[in-house]
Structure 1
């Protein structure tokens, strides 16, 4: 049986959603972040050396990385669903978004999270103004312009088709859900400035399998 090693408030939520879409039997093993550091617990290193989530085990297979997991599960259990036919333009777009989500979209979002935390982290009073000044400067001159660049790009891409890889819902939309939810939490995605992306989030949040995944996964809140 497939086992998902699931960390709260993490990328593994979209693997839960995929498993619900596929309708295959699976087990969830839950892990909680450290309340102070927000890091995954050391127990995850017993499953994979990097100690991060998501990780799945499926028989003798242990697999990390969201894109690889999504592609593996869709290929082995999808029965033709969620991956466009091989060799088609839609399949190429699907592969692109599977890589883009973590390779291009997430780095500026992670930088935003880090520099926002610099502003609120306790530190000696004589250091804090300097640290906050640096954090503001980096966000204003690099991070925020990068976030806007990606948002504008993504908003335009969703103007080309109903879903990210074409006119059919696919694994690409599941993979893209996490960065878009992070954009909504801290990257400027909203109904006024990015209406297509906002509508995409409303559509996926209303999907029955997405709702079932929330029930199975528990706490899911991105800051």
Structure 2
């Protein structure tokens, strides 16, 4: 089969970084188109590619008679793995940790990312003394403890094997903290896992291409990177009040 012709559209400082990382891990060639936030949301150029204006978006032009455009990072991950990755970075149904792989692959967007965003939104809208915010904090604490327990007993989320569960989940603990801060000091299992991610050449290559201005060491640290100023202003929050 001829080399795939893939174009990844990535809104910088965003979850789209998952896809370059996945492609670098699989050693699949791709073209990367970067978009800067203006000042917070996607620019008109990205909205012209995909009406929702969200990132990532993958264009597959390998077969000119059947061009494909697909969004949603989880869907793109499955598409790439099974169409061009020969199933690599996914576990098969006969693998003993297959259920774990599926669970953590989908936990990233189904629970973790959405929960962290709800916590951040609640802080901005009702303040930290409101029981609605405190309820979101309790839910996020429970999720972090759940992940911590998993990673204290396993090298990777699905077990001993690095999988796409990592490429889906990693950003929630690195770049996403520019939108919703998390101090991970009390989560040594998560921090050790982040350290292993930071050692992966494919991860560093992907971040160097997708978001070269981000500090990888800050992203994988206990305290995390500083919040994005445009987001702080949009949420009417003061960094010092967090």
Category of TM-score, reference length = shorter chain: 0.7 to 0.9
Partner residue in 1 for 2:31:
27
C-alpha deviation, 1:45, in angstroms: 2.4
Q: Tell me how large the CA RMSD over aligned residues is.
A: 2.1
C-alpha deviation, 1:189, in angstroms: 4.2
> Normalised by the size of structure 1, how large is the TM-score?
0.83
The aligned length equals 205
CA distance in structure 2 between the aligned counterparts of 1:141 and 1:113, rounded to whole angstroms:
11
Q: Which has the higher contact order (CA 8 A, sep 6+)?
A: 1
- Contact 1:12–1:54 (CA<8 Å) still a contact in 2? yes
C-alpha deviation, 1:195, in angstroms: 0.2
Uncovered stretches (5+) of structure 2, i.e. residues with no partner = 62-66, 215-224, 228-242
- Contact 1:109–1:182 (CA<8 Å) still a contact in 2? no
CA distance in structure 1 between the aligned counterparts of 2:105 and 2:44, rounded to whole angstroms:
28
- Contact 1:34–1:41 (CA<8 Å) still a contact in 2? yes
Partner residue in 2 for 1:57:
59
Alignment partner of 1:135 out of 127, 134, 153: 127
Partner residue in 2 for 1:155:
148
Residues 222 and 112 of structure 1: CA distance in aligned 2, closer, same or farther (over 3 Å): farther
Aligned pairs for 1:112-127 within 5 A? 112-116=119-123, 118=124
Partner residue in 2 for 1:190:
184
Matched, 1:84 2:91: yes
> Normalised by the size of structure 2, how large is the TM-score?
0.77
